[in-house]
Amino acid sequence: MKKLMLIATLGMAALYADPATIIKSKCAACHGQKMEKAALGKSAMVNTMSAQEIEEALKGYKAGTLNKHGLGATMRGQAAALSDTDIADLAKYITTTLK
Site residues for ligand HEC per CB under 6 A: 22, 26-27, 29-31, 39-40, 42-44, 46, 54, 57-58, 66-72, 74-75, 78, 90
Q: Which of 71, 88 has the CB closer to ligand HEC?
A: 71
Contact, 81 vs 11, CB < 8 A? no
Mention every residue, 6+ apart, whose C-beta is less than 8 A from residue 36.
Answer: 45, 46, 47
Q: Which of 26, 34 has the CB closer to ligand HEC?
A: 26
CB of 14 to ligand HEC, least distance (A): 19
For residue 22, count other CB atoms closer than 10 A to its CB: 19
CB of 11 to ligand HEC, least distance (A): 23
